[in-house]
Structure 1
Amino acid sequence: MKKPEYLVSGEFARLIPVATKPELRNTCVTCAMLMAVEEFAESLLGTLGAPTGKRAKTRAWVEPVFKSSKNDSKDRPDALIVVDNGRREWRALVEAKSRGADLDSVQVDRYLDIAKEHGVDAVVTISNQFVSTPTQSPCDINRQKLKKVSLFHWSWSYLKTEAKIQISKSTVSDPDQSYMLEEYVRYLEHDSAGVSEFEQMGKEWVETCKLYFAKSKVDKKSPLGAAVVSDWDELMRCTALRMSRDLETNVTTVLSAKERKDPNGRLEALQNTFTSTGELKSRLNVPGAASPISVEADLTRRSVTVSMTVDAPRDKKRAPATVTWLLRQLSKTEDGSIMIVAKWPGRTQETCAELVQIREDSEILVRDRKGQLPRTFEIRAVSDLGGKFTQRRNFVPELVSCVTRFYEIVGQHVVPWQAPPPKPKKVRSADEEAIKPESVDETEEKNSEHLDDDDLRTMDSGYTETPEEVRPIPSFEEVDT
């Protein structure tokens, strides 16, 4: 494939690379998959703003060098991706790291300058670092430079997860392309690729846990809080990816529109909440689940709380009936740590009881509020991790286990309440209308319209002939006579 005229040099991305550097080899294989598998390219590049559709063609060159670049020719991104659908061309520079290497903010900053100079639309970074969404970046970049060029980030685990989901759902129509995608997953799972999950919290975790357990706090301006919040964000993203692979669907962290627009502001707000309360909170969205899954780590109590909140049914007349509705959905849940919290309208205090106790007596959750109906139910599982909570390496698998187990025993069984469909108003049939009682005036008026001379003579004689089915019931005096 002939390279673009605006490049001095650059090798066309190959499916079987000859590069020796792990990050360059991984980048080359990934770019080749984007060119070969249309569905894979559309799911990844389409969300970044690249044109999609049957006419969209993806091409990629490794280690591109632009003509007349103001920067040093040694500043060579790992790849250039070009997507063209005949009407619009979209381009992105790629910078990748593998194994334990983190992205260099200064280097990414220079690539943003190159992209702006040559009209490149975006810079995409790839590493083992995790972020909540591709629009966020693990690098601290001057936001002014992102006015003309967009910055995105993928983790290698995210790419592997996306490929696995497409394979499991059979979204790739061509069998050869599906086989190539399977081989791509196999490649990323090999140790030589250097792809790793989030395995442990940072060194600041232990010190921070000790402070809050001793009823102390971290200063808002302290680097400890920022480091812990950053690790927590990566851990939740890693947890979402693991659940995505298990459930074969895209599990994501829940972000508001404001948080998606301002990722740095979101992290600052999360840090302020953490430093003041000692609690780390996040929510995961599982497609089709009754509600998002809330995850909370409390450094003061050294516990992890996983919960879901569902609306109570509105078509019940008694509060115990609403509790029974929820118990039916949790009939297969045998975990003794599950608790149910009923939240009532207004300022009425919420009630709480263990699932085991509620099964024996549903009234224990209602208590003296039988005249009211609960507004929502919160299904909660609290795990006291004890010493494992402060251990950097052990905390990660323990938290992931808490979340995945909660979804297994609760999340997959609970369905949201839906109001029953409205019933049609009963309409009288034609036969019912025919025998509908009429007033005396209406009956005489209808009869007079069809009377002939014989009928009139009969009426004058005082005799009328009454049909059998409508003849009046005789009185007791008439029967005696």
Structure 2
Amino acid sequence: MHEMIKGSNVALAALSENTGSVIASLSWVSPTGEGDADVSVLLLDGNGKVRSDDDFYFYNNPVAADGSVQLLGKTPTESGDEDRISFDLTAVPSVIDRIVVAASRYEGAGFGELEDLKVTLADGGGESLLGFAIDDAGTESAFIFGELYRRGAEWKFRAVGQGYDTGLAGLASDFGVDIEDDAGAEQALSGTEGGDQADTAVPAPAAEREPQVTPGLVPSPRPPADEGGSRKAARPRTAKKKVTVPRVARKSLADNESWKQARLFPVSVLKSDRDREMRATSVLLSVMAQVPEFGRRLTAAFGAPSGRMETFTEVSLPHGDTPRRPDGVIRVERAGKLWTALVETKTNGNSLKPEQVKAYADIAARRGYEAVITLSNDVALEGSPLVDVKIDGRRKHKVALRHLSWAEVTHQAQMLIRHEGVGDKAHAWLLQELLYYLRHENSGCHGFQNMGAAWVPVRNGIDDETLCQGDPRALDVVESWERLIRQICLSLGGELGQKVLPVQRAKRGADPKARRGRLADQLCLDGRLHAELRIEGAPGILVISADLRTGKLRTSIEIPAPEQGYPLSWAKRLIRRLAEAPADLHIETLVEGEAGGPRGTLERLRPEPADMLPKNNDTPVTGFRLSLFKGMGSSRGNAESGFIRSVDDAVHRFYTAVVVHLDRPAPRQVSARYAPN
């Protein structure tokens, strides 16, 4: 990968032959685990200005109509997450000279509070092209990471690293985006034209979304008609209406409660693993082709353009003396160009076969396909591929090997159908049928469900204290634990409609295998598995700890003490907020300079909140730790008594019974509002 310094530039064609589409990834690390930023993109003409508001892409306007720009959102990484942006450079209008890639923070937060700021660029095959690290960030609340620009017929990238103290509003103003004051923005929110209020108001960015509408960047009301009666150029509505399936239960017309509702994708006839694989592949690929929003979400991260998608199953491709039959093929056409991927599917916990995947990679390279996509119940980890396939580096055409888990497919479908909505009712119904199929016990698409063969020996070794550091079985358990945590993030995030990401407290760029090795050695010493989840809108980090010695799971969260008021008022308010929480909830008061303060169960503390306070009134209270304990399953699988089921149940119970009752952090607000030219 080509490492750049501030102010340097490089031609993309010099780095790869596959730069018609590229993906920019902006990343940073928050020492507290809670800091974040939002990305934005501006398309500039020869004058260095946006042509109109349509050239400004941010959290409320994430996709270009022509497919040239798409904000893909955040993806978990080893040290947190990264924000990715897909560019189809072949679709960028010829009048556009530059594409600015930036990010912004809120409420006075500066980029100097974050670490390891970096932008990387990958080609359409997923090959990393370049990287630019920013090491001089200070109080700036907005930053231009870099820019793509034309030089003749080719595209180049420049490492910029320029900061703005005036945030997103100041950055946008510099490039010709008009910023409206608060009064004008409030008028826009209230709806100047009758009946347009629901269409004009837009949601806040993902990191601050609440049930009610919160102030954010919003477009002005549509302009009035001119003297001739025609309306001036309509301003875009960044929050278009979406169709979601109603959750209201409908009365059944069935004569008998045992009758089963007819389904588009039946599962009762599936008898073998081969039947499940064929049915699952056909069901998924057909819905991807018919619901563009869904198909795009699953393929955009792999470098596929936004275009017309066709999908095929049980295709036959020549390979030596014996033709190969991959489970499926995906083809996307955009502006006369074709992006194609082979699909290999496994269900019911079956493992991918390296020799099979390698054969498909060879076929894809010979036929000019861009990717081979594997799909199974397993969850891929960074630095630990599911299948060890060596690609022939001498081949001119490079093929990207990508993996999807069935849990991720379910998550994306759930986000669309339950929270974000899709374009029409037919698409909503198709996604609902897909979700029903994926969740059926006979589909075989249930996600990661087995801790592996090393689970029982490791637990026994911890019990009898015979497990030694360096034992490879401990590393297997740590990897399975990480896969489980990533799947729980997908599951909980899909239910909440919010981002849920694992917190990896390791320096960016650290070897993930070395990190897991250290965790495996720690497991041998103390017999504990530990994980942290950052949930959008939650007041703190949710911590999961599995003690294999005692067989107990602990889920907990630390909430800071309010900045104003008195400790007794804080304690009483917390008890009131937890009125519906479980009686066995443990509450521990955190005090400054000591290992811990008073603690007790909610049942005991309800009558006497003052018991939560230290006896020495001069001891500062810094916060409270809330914990629930639960016995964990012993079996390695996902049966009712299994460890995986017990961890999943513990996390969901803790969130729904405790976290939802806590005060949310104040939402970020942008004082200036976006107004079109």
Same fold (TM over 0.5): yes
Distance change >3 Å, CA 351–CA 90, structure 1 → 2: farther
Q: Would you say the 8 A contact 2:598–2:613 is kept in 1?
A: no
| SS of alignment partner, residue 271 of structure 1 | helix
Q: Distance between the aligned counterparts of 2:487 and 2:668, measured in 1? A: 39
Distance change >3 Å, CA 321–CA 297, structure 1 → 2: same
Match of 2:376 in 1: 127
Match of 2:353 in 1: 104
Q: Tell me how far 1:411 sits from its aligned partner.
A: 1.2
Superposition map of 1:384-395 within 5 A:
384-385=631-632, 388-389=633-634, 393=639, 394=641, 395=643
Q: Tell me how far 1:65 sits from its aligned partner.
A: 5.7
Q: Distance between the aligned counterparts of 2:313 and 2:389, measured in 1? A: 24
Superposition map of 1:183-332 within 5 A:
183-190=433-440, 193-220=443-470, 222-244=471-493, 246-247=495-496, 249=498, 251-255=500-504, 264-316=513-565, 318-332=566-580
Q: Percent identity?
A: 26
- 1:159 and 2:409 are equivalent in the alignment: yes
Q: Residue by residue, what CA displacement relative to the aligned partner does 1:362-410 show, whole Å, maximum 9, x if unpaired?
A: 443332452343333221112244xx44675413322222222111211
Distance change >3 Å, CA 259–CA 49, structure 1 → 2: farther
Runs of 5+ consecutive residues of structure 2 not aligned to the other structure: 1-263, 670-677
The amino acid of 1:324's aligned partner reads: K
Match of 2:648 in 1: 400
Match of 2:427 among 150, 165, 177: 177
Match of 1:445 in 2: none
Q: Distance between the aligned counterparts of 2:323 and 2:505, measured in 1? A: 40
| SS of alignment partner, residue 621 of structure 2 | coil
Q: Tell me how far 1:269 sits from its aligned partner.
A: 4.2
Q: Tell me how far 1:116 sits from its aligned partner.
A: 4.3
Q: Kindly tell me the number of residue pairs found equivalent between the two proteins.
A: 394
Distance change >3 Å, CA 158–CA 339, structure 1 → 2: same
- 1:334 and 2:588 are equivalent in the alignment: no
Q: Tell me how far 1:96 sits from its aligned partner.
A: 0.7
Match of 2:603 in 1: 356
Q: Distance between the aligned counterparts of 1:89 and 1:271, measured in 2? A: 45
Q: Would you say the 8 A contact 1:313–1:417 is kept in 2?
A: no
Q: Would you say the 8 A contact 1:58–1:83 is kept in 2?
A: yes
Q: Distance between the aligned counterparts of 2:503 and 2:308, measured in 1? A: 33
Q: Tell me how far 1:282 sits from its aligned partner.
A: 1.8
Q: Distance between the aligned counterparts of 1:29 and 1:227, measured in 2? A: 33
Q: Distance between the aligned counterparts of 1:420 and 1:34, measured in 2? A: 35
| SS of alignment partner, residue 329 of structure 2 | strand
Match of 2:333 in 1: 84
Tell me the TM-score normalised to structure 1 length.
Answer: 0.70
Match of 1:434 in 2: none
Q: Would you say the 8 A contact 1:284–1:294 is kept in 2?
A: yes
- 1:50 and 2:301 are equivalent in the alignment: no
Match of 2:286 among 29, 32, 35: 32
| SS of alignment partner, residue 382 of structure 1 | strand
Q: Residue by residue, what CA displacement relative to the aligned partner does 1:336-384 show, whole Å, maximum 9, x if unpaired?
A: 2x22233334x33321402334434444333245234333322111224
The amino acid of 2:293's aligned partner reads: E
Q: Distance between the aligned counterparts of 1:327 and 1:359, measured in 2? A: 6
Q: Residue by residue, what CA displacement relative to the aligned partner does 1:215-248 show, whole Å, maximum 9, x if unpaired?
A: 443432x232133223323333443444345445
Q: Residue by residue, what CA displacement relative to the aligned partner does 1:125-172 show, whole Å, maximum 9, x if unpaired?
A: 111223468x97433455997995433322224323432332223611
The amino acid of 2:595's aligned partner reads: Q
The amino acid of 1:236's aligned partner reads: I
Match of 2:313 among 18, 38, 62: 62
Distance change >3 Å, CA 373–CA 151, structure 1 → 2: farther
Q: Distance between the aligned counterparts of 2:366 and 2:622, measured in 1? A: 57
- The structure whose residues are more often strand, as a share, is 2
Q: Distance between the aligned counterparts of 1:50 and 1:105, measured in 2? A: 24
Q: Distance between the aligned counterparts of 2:368 and 2:424, measured in 1? A: 34
Match of 1:93 among 322, 337, 342: 342
Q: Would you say the 8 A contact 1:217–1:278 is kept in 2?
A: no
The amino acid of 2:287's aligned partner reads: M
Match of 2:590 in 1: 343
Match of 1:374 in 2: 621
Q: Residue by residue, what CA displacement relative to the aligned partner does 1:419-455 show, whole Å, maximum 9, x if unpaired?
A: 999xxxxxxxxxxxxxxxxxxxxxxxxxxxxxxxxxx
Q: Tell me how far 1:36 sits from its aligned partner.
A: 0.9
Q: Residue by residue, what CA displacement relative to the aligned partner does 1:27-50 show, whole Å, maximum 9, x if unpaired?
A: 232222111101111222223332
| SS of alignment partner, residue 409 of structure 2 | helix
Match of 1:460 in 2: none
Tell me the TM-score normalised to structure 2 length.
Answer: 0.51
Q: Would you say the 8 A contact 2:349–2:448 is kept in 1?
A: no
Larger Rg: 1
Q: Tell me how far 1:249 sits from its aligned partner.
A: 4.9
Distance change >3 Å, CA 143–CA 369, structure 1 → 2: farther
Distance change >3 Å, CA 74–CA 229, structure 1 → 2: farther
| SS of alignment partner, residue 647 of structure 2 | helix
Q: Distance between the aligned counterparts of 2:485 and 2:513, measured in 1? A: 17
Q: Distance between the aligned counterparts of 1:230 and 1:202, measured in 2? A: 10
Distance change >3 Å, CA 312–CA 416, structure 1 → 2: farther
Q: Residue by residue, what CA displacement relative to the aligned partner does 1:52-93 show, whole Å, maximum 9, x if unpaired?
A: 3xxx221223345667x7x66534432222223327643322
Higher relative contact order, structure no. (Cα contacts within 8 Å, ≥ 6 residues apart): 2
Q: Tell me how far 1:104 sits from its aligned partner.
A: 1.2
| SS of alignment partner, residue 544 of structure 2 | strand
Q: Distance between the aligned counterparts of 2:330 and 2:292, measured in 1? A: 14
| SS of alignment partner, residue 349 of structure 1 | coil
- 1:409 and 2:663 are equivalent in the alignment: no
Distance change >3 Å, CA 178–CA 89, structure 1 → 2: same
Q: Residue by residue, what CA displacement relative to the aligned partner does 1:281-312 show, whole Å, maximum 9, x if unpaired?
A: 22334332223321111112221110112222
Match of 2:386 in 1: 138
Q: Would you say the 8 A contact 1:208–1:218 is kept in 2?
A: no
The amino acid of 1:234's aligned partner reads: R
Superposition map of 1:404-443 within 5 A:
404-418=652-666
| SS of alignment partner, residue 370 of structure 1 | coil
Distance change >3 Å, CA 125–CA 72, structure 1 → 2: farther
Distance change >3 Å, CA 223–CA 46, structure 1 → 2: same
Distance change >3 Å, CA 260–CA 235, structure 1 → 2: farther
The amino acid of 1:100's aligned partner reads: G
